[in-house]
Every structure is written in C-alpha cells, then in structure tokens.
Amino acid sequence: MAKDIQYRLKKNREEMRIQFISFGLMAFLTIISFLAVGLGFPASFVIPFLLLLAIIQVLFQFYYFMHAKDEGHEFPMSFMYGGIFTAFLMILAFCTIIWW
C-alpha cells in the first residue's frame, strides 16, 4: 500500500479516536446532569449547572461530531450562530416580557 494512503488511514483513525473521546466526555456530562437532579441539589444551583453542561455538550456535537472544527466551516457556523442568537432573543422575550 502506498505511503500516502497509509498516512490517510492513520489520520482518519486518529480523528476517530478523538471523536470517541468526545463521546465519552458527552456521556460523562449527561450522567453528571442526571445525578445533579437525582441527588436533589437546590434549584438555584442545578438550573444554571444544567444549562452550562448542555451548552458544552452541544459545542462538542457541533465542532467534533458535525466536523465544524474542520476548515471551510466559517460560513455554515455563521448560520448556526445567527440561529442561536435569534433563539436566545425569542426565549428571553417569552420568559420575561410576556406575562399571563
């Protein structure tokens, strides 16, 4: 087998190893968030903690599982951050200035 093919297979294997580690971290963060609720910590601690863990998990999904860390993803990620900004405004509006 040619050297460049071997190099490519090795590079892909290395990337898969990093993906697997990020999966392990995401599984760990998920278990931590379920434990935080299951063990009955106070809501004032658990709610910001859950949001923080969720954001970290989503960044892992975007940058590792969805390959946004690879080159050429600046434009696609600008769409996502635009969407996330609109999402933030929408949720802020519904939770603060709308009352029933």
Partner 1 sequence: MNLTGKFTLQNWPDRPEIATQEGKNKLIGLWLFLGGETVLFATLFATYLALKNRVPDSSHPLTQDLYSLPLVFAMTAVLLTSSLTSVYAIYHMRNYNFKAMQAWFAITVLLGFTFLCLEIYEFFHYVTDFGHTFRSSAFGSAYYFLVGTHGAHVIFGLGWITGLLIRNAKRGLNLYNAPKYYCASLYWHFIDVVWVFIFSVVYLMGMV
Question: Between vectors from CA 95 to CA 90 and to CA 99, what angle results, nearest 5°?
Answer: 115
Residue 2, C-beta contacts closer than 8 angstroms, at least 6 positions apart: none
* Helix intervals (H) in the chain: 3-38, 43-60, 74-96
DSSP at 39: T
Is residue 95 a contact residue for partner 1 (CB under 8 A)? yes
Is residue 32 a contact residue for partner 1 (CB under 8 A)? no
Is residue 93 a contact residue for partner 1 (CB under 8 A)? yes
One residue of 15, 28, 32, 69 binding partner 1 per CB under 8 A: 15
Is residue 43 a contact residue for partner 1 (CB under 8 A)? yes
d(CA 14, CA 64): 13
Contacting residues toward partner 1, per CB under 8 A:
2, 5, 8-9, 12, 15-16, 19-20, 23, 26-27, 30, 33-34, 36-38, 43, 46-47, 50-51, 53-54, 57-58, 61-62, 65-66, 70, 72, 75-77, 79-80, 82-84, 86-88, 90-91, 93-95, 98, 100
